[in-house]
Chains A and B, each alone.
Chain A
Amino acid sequence: MLKVENLIVNYGGIEAVKGISLDVPDGSIITLVGANGAGKSTTLRSIAGLVKAKSGSITLDGEELLGLSTPDIVSKGITMVPEGRRVFPDMTVLENLKIGAYLRKDSLKDDIDHVYDLFPRLKERSWQAAGTLSGGEQQMLAVGRALMSRPKIIMMDEPSLGLAPIIVQGIFDIIREINRQGTTVLLIEQNANMALKTADYGYVMETGKISLQGTGEELLANEQVKELYLGKSKQ
């Protein structure tokens, strides 16, 4: 399992993450919710090795990941779906998927079939340039691309961003499906309602610190969370 302890990250001259600790047990869906600028993305990016942490520790099954490069972390089984989808627009859907498996040397056929089973829409558009897909399809492709590295843990940064509500529902269904098939999910969301309903356990992040934590239901029922993130007043 993935364990983050006392992680401190400086980002752009400010302390964006001020010593947080997370547990991500195998096979679970863990979510990190919070407002803009709370430090959620920075946390994810430092787990992925894209941002250097100042101090703390990130361990996967007891092995220290802090200081490793992104390629090493991806090979250890942690892959990130970046915020804003970031598919490669002028490359075909199939090429995008193959890039996801760049660090693997074995045959990709089974994995491509697996992704196409999960997202039949992508199979239809296999030869299309990824930039011509709709927002929802691009999000599917971004998730499929990350799955191609056969991750133990898939980290998703705001997968619902900029998508219509009905598509968002579909994305969360897929997150549950991926989890059911055995991949651990670490999910960052501003859509706290959907995220907490989906997750086994959630953390609420505020200005670089964890302010609350609990199971999805507990947090959904929490008055403070209701007021701040779910848009419901106390009365």
Chain B
Amino acid sequence: MKNLENKRGTLITAAIIVAVFLFVGIAEKIAPPSWNMLFMVLKKGSIYALIAVSMNLLNGFTGLFSLGQAGFMLLGAYTYGIFTIPAADRASVYQYFDGGVVQFALPVPVALILAGLVAAAFAFLIGLPVLRLKSDYLAIATLGFAEIIRAVFQWNVLGPITNGSNLLRKFPVFQSTISYFIVVGICVAVILLLINSSYGRAFKSIREDEIAAEAMGINLARHKMLAFCISSFFAGIGGALLAMYQTSVQASIFKSAMTYEILLIVVIGGIGSISGSVLASFLYIACSEWWLRFLDQETILSAAGRGRFIAVMAVIFVILLALMVFRLVKPKAKSRVRYGVGAGICGAVLIWLIVFAATGQTKVPLLRNGFRMVVFSVIIMIIVLFFSRGIMGTSELPDLFRKRIKSEKEEVAS
């Protein structure tokens, strides 16, 4: 019965995905240049979506807490860069290393797959010793690996291949957003198929109970290694796409902070939810790169603009505060803490507004370089505190559109 009902959800989800792809493909052709920011966010968001999904496959579905993602992205990015720079441009890119040792260029699709394979091969070698470890020990070991890889790639002796600590550039890149979407779409679809196969079930059973999984005849070492290599394969492709997006590769950007960013996306989206990771990636990138940017800019308003700004903000936050307080004092109120924190935030914004109004300055207080990250951290704390299972939990998009059947409702009620 549930199967039948779920068809509806799958169809709606498929329709949404097709609509998004069509929108991106068409809008990109006809949109004015002022939409550039949107497409930047879509490009970077799609790349992060792939990497977050690859991390979720390992951390969320197989239950292996690994923090090596940045290292595998670096391997993918470098592999792509090294093997696609046109032979004619090599002399200028590898100017300190006599044009480097690689003197040929592979086609883009081949290089993308090679980027994944190199990352997977390293994952296999690292995995042999490291996958014997569990939970936080595994996390520390993989984090260490990622840091070592970063240092090794900047080593001057490897310069003829990696260009040392200099940039790799002039390699071919995707110009259109839809190209990123298509590559990411294919990769995520492959991961989805894998998760719904018997391998995916085996991964999940390892996450849930290793001893029982082993007793059912699942070879733990083999399946952990498989999940680790597949996850790294797609992280490698993600790294290659990130290289394209940035049009250059430099080892120093693949810091552990990047892994934490992706871990954050996975947690916000819901550990064990593919659609959660994808949605959270776009939201995260949109917030950090676009929607919250204004917080970083010192803003000086005109006298009239200042009055309008204070009035509009005051109305919005007074209404919000009233709603929160109303919920809070209502008898038999549920989730008081949530509304309490909400009311506190509204109150803080209002006090900030009153100070702003009282000082009579035209410069908006607090808005300056770095304030964005303060607000962003607060938002993330709120999400983690109140939606501890992430925005999607372990459910997927089709589940949201599934009509609840009667018997199921009754079961939930009882």
Contact = CB atoms under 8 A, between A and B. Distances in A.
Interface of A: 48, 50, 69-71, 73-75, 79-80, 82, 86-91, 95, 98-100, 102-103, 127-128, 145-146, 149
Contacts of B272: 90
Contact of B214 (A70, A100, A103): A70
A82 B214 CA distance: 10
Nearest to B3: A127
A70 B212 CA distance: 11
Contacts, number: 69
A78 to B, nearest CB: 10
Interface stretch (B41-49, B216-224, B329-337): B216-224
Nearest to B221: A69
- The interface residues of chain B, by DSSP majority, are classed as helix
A71 B208 contact: no
Interface string B172-216: 000000000000000000000000001001101100110111111
Given A80-B215, A87-B209, A88-B212, 18 more contacts: A48-B215, A70-B219, A74-B216, A82-B215, A86-B209, A86-B211, A86-B212, A88-B208, A90-B208, A98-B198, A98-B201, A99-B201, A99-B202, A99-B216, A100-B216, A102-B198, A103-B217, A149-B216
Contacts of B29: none
B208 A50 contact: no
A91 B204 contact: yes
B394 interface: yes
Of A82, A86, A87, A102, chain B has the most CB atoms within 10 Å of the CB of A102
A128 B219 contact: no
A82 B201 CA distance: 19
A100 B202 CA distance: 10
B289 to A, nearest CB: 34
B272 to A, nearest CB: 8
Contact of B215 (A70, A75, A127, A128): A70
Contact of A74 (B2, B208, B209, B217): B217
B211 A88 contact: no
Contact of B218 (A48, A71, A73, A82): A71
Interface of B: 2, 198, 201-202, 204-205, 208-209, 211-219, 272, 394, 411
Of B201, B205, B217, B218, chain A has the most CB atoms within 10 Å of the CB of B217
Contacts of A89: 208-209
B292 to A, nearest CB: 34
Nearest to A92: B2
Contact of B208 (A69, A91, A128): A91
Of B2, B208, B272, chain A has the most CB atoms within 10 Å of the CB of B208
Contact of B217 (A75, A82, A127): A75
A77 to B, nearest CB: 11
Nearest to B2: A127
Instruction: Sort A-B residue pairs by CB-CB distance and give the 4 closest, nearest first.
Output: A74-B217, A86-B212, A88-B208, A71-B217
Given A71-B219, A99-B201, A82 B208 contact: no
Contacts of B219: 69-71
Of A70, A99, A149, chain B has the most CB atoms within 10 Å of the CB of A99
A69 B217 CA distance: 9
A83 B202 CA distance: 20
A88 B2 contact: no
B204 A82 contact: no
A100 B205 CA distance: 10
Nearest to B200: A95
B119 to A, nearest CB: 28
